[in-house]
Amino acid sequence: MAKLWGGRFEAGLDPDAKAFSYSLDWDRRLAPYDILVNLAHAKALFKKGVFSADELETVSIALKALETRIASGDETVWGDDEDIHSCIERQLTECCGDLGKKLHTGKSRNDQVITDTRLFLKDQLNSHRQALLELLETLYHLAEQYRDRLFPGFTHFQPSQPILFSHHLLAYFEKFQRDYQRFELVLKTVDVCCLGSGAMVVNNYGLDRGLIAKELGFSTISMNSMDAVSDRDFCLEYLFSASVCMTHLSRFCEEIVLWVSPIIGFINLSDSFTTGSSIMPQKKNPDIAELIRGKSGRVLGNMVSLIHILKSLPLTYNRDLQEDKELLFDTCDTLNGALICFNKMIRTMTLNDSAIDAALEKGYLLATDFADYLVGKGVPFRESHEITGKTVSYAIQEGKALEDLSLEEFHLFSDRVQEDVFGVLELRHSVDSKQVTGGTATEEVKKQLKRIQEKYKWKKP
C-alpha cells in the first residue's frame, strides 16, 4: 500500500530514516483503540451522508473481523507499515477496496492518535486504581493484624520514639490513598474526546463530535482543535502521578530491604519474592523490593523526558510527539507490574517479634517522654530538653536504659523528678499517651481503622 502522505514525493524514505521513524513495533498495542476510533468515525460519516448504510455495515464488519484477528494473535496483520493507523487502513483497504481509503475522510492521524492514546490511558488508569484498591485493602488487613504490635519509629533512620507497627503501615495507606485520588483526577483530564479536530483546524464535513464522544465513552469533547492535537498535559499529569506512586512504593521497598536483612531482622518474606546468590548459598535476597525501588527511577525519567520533549514545541502537531507513547507504555507496564508484585509480596510479610523487641530497647526511645514529663513538672521545654540530653548521656556512659536509672541518678540532673517518672518511662505508656487525632495511640489507631472500614466496607481479617 502506498504511503498515506506519499503523493508529492518522488523518492522513497531512506532505509535508515525509515527504521528510525517507523513506530508500528510499539504503537501496535493501540490497535484495539484505533479500531474503535475508526468505527465511531464511520458512524459519524454515515450520519453526514458520506457513507451509505451498506458502506457503514461493510466497514464495520471488516473492522470487527480485524479486531478478532488481532485479539487472537494473528501476526499476519502486521506488515511494513509506518504506524498503527496506516496498518489498520492497509488491512481495511485490502478487505474493502476503495471503501477502506474513504474511511479517512474528515480525520487526521493527529486527532486519531491522541484519541487512541486517551482511550488506552483510561483503561490503564482503571487498572492502576483497581491495583491500588487491592493494595490498600492489604495494608488495612496487615494494620488490623498487627494493630497492637510495638515498633521503633525512626527519623534519619535513627531510633526516635516508640510507635505501633499498625501506625507505620497506615502512614503508607495514606500515601497510596492519595495516589488513588490523583489517578481519579487524571482520569477526568484524560476523559476528553479529540476526534474531529482533524490535523489542527477540525474538518470540513460537520461531523457530529458529540456522537463520536458518546460512541467512544468519553464524557466531553475538546474545545480547541489546535490544543487538542498538540496537548500532552494529560500524559504529563499521568506520568507525574505514576512517579509519585512509584516513589511511595520505592520508599516502602527501601524499608523492606533494610528490615529483612539479618542485621536488622524485623521481618521475613516468602521465598516467592526473594532470590538466591549464584555463589553464596546462604543468601536470601529481597530482589523484587529492590527492582521496584530501581524501576521508580525509570518512571521518573519518563516524566522528565516528556517535559523536555514538550518544552520547545510550537503549535500544533510535531513529530517529536511520537515519543510520548514509548514513555507512556513503559510507565504503565512498570507501574502495573510494581503494584501487583508489591501487593503480593507484603501479603507474605511476617514479623520477627524478638528482633523488634530487642530494637525497642536501643536508642533511648523514651527520651522525649522524659522531656515532656519534666515539662509537666513545670520545667520549660527548652530547659527540659537540655536536662534530658545530659541524662541520656549519663545513661550511655553507665550502660543503662533511661528507665533503669535510679531516682537518685535522675536527681543528679533535676530535683523535679519523682517516683511517678517510672510509670511514664514505659513503651506502652509512651504510645498510648499520643491521644491526638493522627497519633500512634492504640485508641487513635483503632479510630483510623474504623474510619477506613466504614469507608471501604472491607471485612476485618
Task: Name the residues annotated as catalytic.
Answer: 156, 277
278 CB-near residues (< 8 Å, 6+ apart) = none
SS3 153: strand
CB 152 within 8 A of CB 365: yes
How far apart, in whole angstroms, are the C-alpha atoms of residue 349 and residue 269?
5
| 325 closest CA partner among 308, 307, 302 | 302
| 455 closest CA partner among 136, 144, 135, 186 | 136
Q: Where on the phi/psi map is residue 203: left (φ > 0), alpha (ψ -120 to 50), or beta?
A: beta
303 CB-near residues (< 8 Å, 6+ apart) = 236, 239, 240, 242, 243, 327, 331
How far apart, in whole angstroms, are the C-alpha atoms of residue 228 and residue 149?
53
312 CB-near residues (< 8 Å, 6+ apart) = none
Q: Specify the pairing of strand 192-193 against strand 158-164.
A: unpaired
CB 144 within 8 A of CB 136: no
SS3 443: helix
How far apart, in whole angstroms, are the C-alpha atoms of residue 112 and residue 35?
10
Q: Which three cell numbers stand for residue 221?
A: 469533547
Q: Which three cell numbers stand for residue 126?
A: 482503571
Q: Specify the pairing of strand 192-193 against strand 220-221.
A: parallel
268, β-bridge pairs: 350
How far apart, in whole angstroms, are the C-alpha atoms of residue 213 and residue 40?
8
| 164 closest CA partner among 388, 389, 444 | 444
How far apart, in whole angstroms, are the C-alpha atoms of residue 131 and residue 122?
14
Q: Which three cell numbers stand for residue 4?
A: 498515506
CB 59 within 8 A of CB 92: yes
How far apart, in whole angstroms, are the C-alpha atoms of residue 284 and residue 122?
39
